[in-house]
Amino acid sequence: MESDATTRTRTETDSLGTLEIPADAYWGIHTARALENFPISKRPISVYPELITALAMVKQASARANRGIGVIDPARADLIDRAAQCIIDGDFHDQFVVGVIQGGAGTSTNMNANEVITNVALELAGREKGDYAFLSPIDHTNRSQSTNDVYPTAIKVGLSLSLLTLLDELELLRRAFLAKAVEFHDVLKVGRTQLQDAVPMTLGQEFHGFASTLEADLMRLRENASLLHEINMGATAIGTGITTHADYAPAVAHHLREISGLDLETAADLVESTSDTGSFMSFSSSLKRNAIKLSKICNDLRLLSSGPQAGFGEINLPARQAGSSIMPGKVNPVIPEVVNQVAFAVAGADMTVTMAVEGGQLQLNAFEPVIAHSIFQSITWMRQAMWTLRVNCVEGITANRDRLGSMVGSSVGVITALTPFIGYAAAAALAKTALLTHRSVADLVVEAGLMSREEVIKQLSPARLSGLEAITAAIPIIDPDLPAR
């Protein structure tokens, strides 16, 4: 019942006693207790909107299943259905206030959802919030359910929905690198292994490699996403299905597939599915793989743009902000740096997920809240990191063509392209001479009488140096013992 207008509270009761709840709150006593018990993260579950949407989808699917099998009357089931749809549409998310880190294996999150949906439904029916005699958060909204099947199912659905936007952003980033590969297709540069000069390549090939590694991650993430499509709705407390109708599990799975658009299926062994959280570990691992590979790309971008005078200075990253409070004109690679830090956080979150998965005991894993928080945070941060890397960095990268050209022209590494014609030993001797004398490799080869000027020019063309044009005919190798001049 609502108290007098000056206090603006309503009284709610649970098995532990009574509490005063703010009159305008759609959450109730179970949520209030969680707010007292878990002031840990200072971050409500509503920071992950896909999780809230998924919780509403699960409740909506349950209401439809319960109506269909006759365990909730059509009028009440319809109210729950409509209230859940309001949340799916983006309303009332601010009422999901329990912290992302909580004890109780997600019970507080499930209760928060039950209470909000129930009180929205009560308003739709023209009744006061808290009129649980008419519509109960537990007896009606949570009918045929337990936290232990609702919560992991909502996490899986929410992660699947969140992943769709991550994959979209990853694809856009891949295309951005691919566009730069096309733009830089004719820019010859010196490749490097172990930070030492190696053979030539094009800057386009380097950026194409970045695009290809992201393409591989797209495939891996899609593959691991399928692990999230096995749900345990109908398991209730431990997988035995206690308190549910025999037709509930297939009915709720059918409705949840229809509502979410995901290819969901009920686990063959509900006891195993309720206690095992290995799918979260595998999915988290694929996120870590993507994050670490993205971080390696950012390391390369920072190296290639280092300088601009005393570093590699091969490419220019867009200037985003002043780089120093003491050194005028300094500009730092802040966008790759923030992506690096996101990758570090994702790697740490993956370890958290691993430890939480291992910490499960017997028929339930109590640590699903930190699993959910860790993975949702990783997806959220990675999605934003990919966006800023694409928009504020990759799309604006330019090549220092003159510097790259001069570096290739003076590179001793180009002699590798001539080893099929003059042999390794002669090439090594001439490379040493070129380094000591700072003379052109091409000139030394011609002076040694090992190849004509025309042959050297042909073999040291950008197309051949970068491997874009292969050598198709075998040419006799000149005696490697021939002395160099």
Q: Could you list the active site residues?
A: 324
Distance between CA atoms of residues 402 and 157, nearest Å = 52
Q: Two tokens at 80? A: 């729950």
Segment (H or E) for 65? helix 49-69
Please state, in angstroms and rounded to a whole number, the distance separating the CA atoms of residues 198 and 413. 5
Q: Where are the beta strands (DSSP E) in 171-222?
A: 188-193, 196-202
Phi-psi map region of 90: left, alpha, beta (phi>0 left; psi -120 to 50 alpha) = left
Pairing status of strand 9-14 against strand 230-231: unpaired
242: exposed, middle or buried (C-beta count within 10 Å: 0-12, 13-18, 19+)?
exposed
Across the strands, what pairs with 9?
Answer: 22
Distance CA 344, CA 350 (A): 10
* Cα distance between residue 172 and residue 160, in whole Å: 19
- Is residue 461 exposed (0-12), middle (13-18) or buried (19+ Cβ within 10 Å)? middle
Q: Which amino acid is at 379?
A: I
